[in-house]
A and B are shown apart, each in its own frame.
Chain A
Amino acid sequence: MTFSADTVSSASVKSRSGKKFFTARRARRTAVALFLPVSLTLLWWIASDRGWLPEQILPSPAYVYSTMIEMIGSGEILYHAGVSLRRVVIGFIFGALAGLALGMGMGLSRRVDDYVRPLFLAFAQIPTLGWIPLLMLIFGIGETLKIIVIAKGALVPMAMNTAAGIRAVPADFVEVGHALRFSRWQTLRLIVLPGAAPAIFTGIRYGLTHSWTALVGVELLASSEGLGYLLVWGRQMFWLDVVMVAMITIGLIGFAMDKSLDASENYLQRWKKEGAD
């Protein structure tokens, strides 16, 4: 894979030098980055302390914090997060696999693309949220509904990006494969898939994000457990502290998913770095 060396070398140099300056620079950067949240929290604290806004609109940060500790202690937050996570993982796996298969079909075969793409695009035009009421009528409000909605969220970006990634593999590379008399399987495994890998990863990333959004949507509309339910429940009771704790949890899980995707992307594409070294 020497051909990728030129394009990637600058990135890997940056990461190498980044490691050298790790501590001092990082600490300063973190301090600066924390300035805004800390000062906002301070302002928030003052605002609620002075009673600028009623408690129902803006509970004090200390109150939100104590609610959070309480909900962590009682295992409530863990329980709801677990329910949500399980739904996302199952739905995402179904959706991503289906999307990968569909995207590969559309990317590799013009015939499949011709047959499927118009319908797929029409299907993709309708926001995931749009499907929820329709699916609710068919599947009720049980677990099936949630899994299908989440899977649909992952399927569309996965299929689109996989297809686009495969299409964008330079024809020269494929010709090199021809010249080397690669079999179809070899061309796919050694040229097309590695070439499309960054796009497929983009698909996974968007797919997971969409799944997560879809989860929150479907739980807001129809659920008796999970983080989305916690949001609705807190909202109905005017317990803004519960709403905020649920939001923070949603954000943290989203962040953790993003980071772990980053890590696995780097791991899977480590050959690029090897090429550059």
Chain B
Amino acid sequence: MAKVLMKGNEAIALAAIKGGVDAFYGYPITPQNEVPEYLSKHLLANGKVFLQAESEVAAINMVYGAAGAGKRVMTSSSSPGIALKQEGISYIAAAELPCVIVSVMRGGPGLGGIQPSQADYYQATRGGGNGDYQLIVYAPESIQETIDIMKESFDIADYYRNPVMVLVDGLIGQMMESVDFDKPVKERFLPEKDWATNGTMNHPGKRNIANSLQIDPKALEQHNIHLQEKYNTVKKNEVRYELINFDDPEYVIVAYGTMARICRSAIELLEKEGISVGMIRPISLFPYPKEAFAKIPDKAKGILTCELSQGQMLDDVLIANNGKHKVGFFGRSGGMLPDPEEIVEAIKNFNERVVK
């Protein structure tokens, strides 16, 4: 397939089909509506399942059911909708079921707005659901990268038996770019889903149960320890990041998704002024690319965290930096996007930006 010009949300939908999705359950919310709209046409036409649920709460529990039945299943939503799905997400993570959750972030809190935002970093990486669980979270910066990750995310979810979240914002969802859907996906050995609740006729002599209830505290603690071991394997194997302009940078920016694109432009402007600025661009938010911070030269003057929020990833930057460099913060929120010049100014006046 040659390159095609495609809108982000529709590309997410087509990439899901290429990734082998069997079923989609969702509820309308701006700015992700083109995802279900595209899938409603193309999944049903191919004998797959599309269902518009009565609520986000119902949608995520339909995902739970179909994931437990052993199918490749996804949902998509945006900030307040993802908030409603947190109960189900916690259950899915607890029952160790694979699924893909697309989150197209908009400004918050509350009903907030519908313009692009990154204010749901905590929601994605810390979880709004109860208990010790983690999603595997990817935050691509372009439609092409979103497609590549979407296609692979079903394999990753199946491999770890864990929900994967693809975290973008309204800008990536709504813009158009020239993209290629045929880039090969990393091959993984995926074991049979011999745990699927699809009737004992498919696995005689054994009952399969999808469950998160562990009434015995000893058993529940063992389950918690097991989950942590899995997350530690994820931390070891699935870290993704990009280093940009990292030859002896004076300052280092840390930014992901849409904000990283804006920072790329700022870095070019700064280069023209003779100020060398590098960037760590986390692609996986969980696991967070802590090891990238070891590559920052000792003599670098500081790290500027740039986010479309009031400072959420900043926590992970402070943890990864571990007091080594000065850390500053620049953020816009509520759906406001900065010009690259604002980031240029923030670097030039770094000392005013220092938080720690």
Chains A and B bind each other: no
Which B residues form the contact surface with A (CB < 8 A)? Answer: none
